[in-house]
C-alpha cells in the first residue's frame, strides 16, 4: 500500500465466531495517516478493531501495530492506542473532566498530568465549558466529543474511531469530521471505521474497504476516485446555470443541472475548451470547472459486485 513503515500490518487475519467468519484472511500494510475502514454493518470493522486492541484473539493470522505484535504484547500495544467505541460507553453520573482524567490515569499517566491533559483535550474537542457537568446532561454530539477526548487523553500514536459520526446531526457530523481531520496535523494516526463513505472521502488519506470480512479494495483515497468523463461547471446563480445548460445543449453537448451546477459530458480537451468558451461568450462568472470523480460509493459497489 505504501513504502513508508506501516502503521498496521495485517497478515492473513482471520476471525471466526463458530460458523460465522467475521474476518477472512485480511493481508495488508496500512500506512500512517488517516485511514478509513469502510464496510456495511457486519462487514467486520468492529472485529478488526477488537483484534487490534487485543480484546479478541484472531483465529489465524497476526496483527502488528508500529511493528509490535498484538499477540505477543497486547499491553504495550494498548498503551499507545486510543479507542472511541461506537456505542454509549461513558459513566453518566460523573463529570467529563473526571471521566477523562481517570481514564488517562488508567492509561498510564501520572494523576496530575492526567488532569491537565483531560483539561487540554476537552478544550480541544470543544467541551471546555461543559467539562464539570455530569455526562448524563450531555447531548449526543457532546458525548461523542467526550468519547473522542478520552481516546486522546493518553496522547496515543493511533486512535481507533468506531463510527465517530453515528447519531450526529449534519452540523455535529461536520464538526466531528473537522476534529478527526485535525488529528493528522497533531501527528496522531487515525483508523476510522464507518459505513458512510462520504465521511471517509472527506477526511481520510487512505481507504480500506471490507465486505463480509474480506478485503474489497485498499489504497490512497485519491487513487480510488476515478475520472468519469464529466466536468462540473459552477457559475454561481441557478438561473445562469440553466442558461448555460441550454446553450451547451444547443451546441450539441450533453449537459444537465445537478445541485445547481452544470455537468457536461466531455470527450477530450477540445470539448473542455468549448465549455470554457461558452461560459465566456455568455459573460457568466466561472467559479469552478473540474472533472467529476467517482464517489467512494461507486467504487465500493463496483468492487464488491465484481468479486
Partner 1 sequence: MTTTATAGAVYDRGYRPYDGPRGGRNAARYALYRASIRRALGIRRSWRQKVAPFVLLGIVTIPAIITVGVAYITRDQVNRQFQIITYREYVGVSSALLLFVALTAPDIICPDRRQHVLPLLFARPLTGIDYMLAKVGALFSILFLFSFLPQVVLFVGQALVSDSALDYTLDNLDVLWMVPVAVAVLAFYYASIGIAIASLCNRRIVAGASLIGLFLVSSVTSAVLVGDIEGEATGSAAALLDILVIPLYLRDVIFLGVQSSDSQLRGVENGGFYAYVVYVVVVATAFGVLLRRYRWTER
Which string of x and - marks every residue 69-88 that binds partner 1 (by CB under 8 A)? ------xx-xx-xxx-x-xx
Residues 151-170 that bind partner 1 (CB under 8 A): 154-155
Nearer to partner 1, 83 or 300 (CB): 83
Using rule CB under 8 A, residue 142 touches partner 1? no
Using rule CB under 8 A, residue 98 touches partner 1? yes
Nearer to partner 1, 143 or 173 (CB): 143
Using rule CB under 8 A, residue 150 touches partner 1? yes
Using rule CB under 8 A, residue 288 touches partner 1? no
Residues 222-241 that bind partner 1 (CB under 8 A): none
Using rule CB under 8 A, residue 18 touches partner 1? no
Nearer to partner 1, 102 or 278 (CB): 102
How many C-beta atoms lie closer than 10 Å to residue 204's C-beta?
A: 27
Residues 112-141 that bind partner 1 (CB under 8 A): 113, 117, 120, 123-124
- Return the residue of 12, 91, 137, 238 that touches partner 1, per CB under 8 A: 91
- Return the residue of 10, 23, 103, 161 that touches partner 1, per CB under 8 A: 103
Binding site for partner 1 (CB under 8 A): 53, 55-57, 75-76, 78-79, 81-83, 85, 87-95, 98, 102-103, 105-111, 113, 117, 120, 123-124, 150, 154-155, 182, 186-187
Amino acid at each position: 500500500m505504501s513504502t513508508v513503515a506501516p502503521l498496521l500490518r495485517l497478515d492473513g487475519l482471520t476471525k471466526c465466531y463458530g460458523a460465522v467468519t467475521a474476518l477472512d484472511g485480511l493481508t495488508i500494510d496500512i500506512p500512517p495517516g488517516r485511514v478509513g475502514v469502510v464496510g456495511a454493518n457486519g462487514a467486520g470493522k468492529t472485529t478488526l478493531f477488537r483484534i487490534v486492541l487485543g480484546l479478541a484473539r484472531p483465529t489465524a493470522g497476526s496483527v502488528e501495530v508500529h511493528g509490535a505484535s498484538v499477540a505477543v504484547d497486547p499491553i504495550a500495544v494498548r498503551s499507545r492506542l486510543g479507542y472511541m467505541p461506537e456505542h454509549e460507553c461513558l459513566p453518566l453520573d460523573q463529570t467529563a473532566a473526571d471521566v477523562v482524567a481517570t481514564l488517562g490515569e488508567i492509561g498510564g499517566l501520572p494523576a496530575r498530568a492526567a488532569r491537565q491533559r483531560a483539561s487540554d483535550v476537552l478544550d480541544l474537542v470543544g467541551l471546555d465549558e461543559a467539562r464539570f457537568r455530569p455526562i448524563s446532561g450531555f447531548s449526543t454530539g457532546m458525548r461523542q466529543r467526550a468519547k473522542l477526548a478520552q481516546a486522546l487523553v493518553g496522547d496515543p500514536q493511533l486512535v481507533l474511531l468506531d463510527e465517530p459520526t453515528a447519531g450526529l446531526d449534519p452540523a455535529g457530523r461536520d464538526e466531528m469530521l473537522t476534529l478527526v481531520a485535525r488529528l493528522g496535523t497533531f501527528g496522531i494516526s487515525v483508523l476510522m471505521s464507518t459505513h458512510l463513505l462520504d465521511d471517509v472521502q472527506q477526511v481520510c488519506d487512505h481507504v480500506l474497504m471490507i465486505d463480509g470480512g474480506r478485503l474489497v479494495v485498499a489504497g490512497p483515497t485519491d487513487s480510488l476516485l476515478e475520472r468519469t468523463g464529466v466536468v462540473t461547471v459552477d457559475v454561481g446563480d441557478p438561473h445562469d446555470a440553466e442558461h448555460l445548460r441550454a446553450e451547451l445543449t444547443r451546441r450539441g453537448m450533453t449537459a444537465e443541472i445537478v445541485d445547481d451546477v452544470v455537468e457536461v459530458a466531455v470527450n477530450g480537451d477540445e470539448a473542455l475548451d468549448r465549455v470554457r468558451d461558452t461560459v465566456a461568450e455568455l459573460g457568466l462568472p466561472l467559479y469552478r470547472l473540474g472533472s467529476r470523480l467517482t464517489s467512494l460509493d461507486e467504487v465500493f459497489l463496483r468492487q464488491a459486485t465484481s468479486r
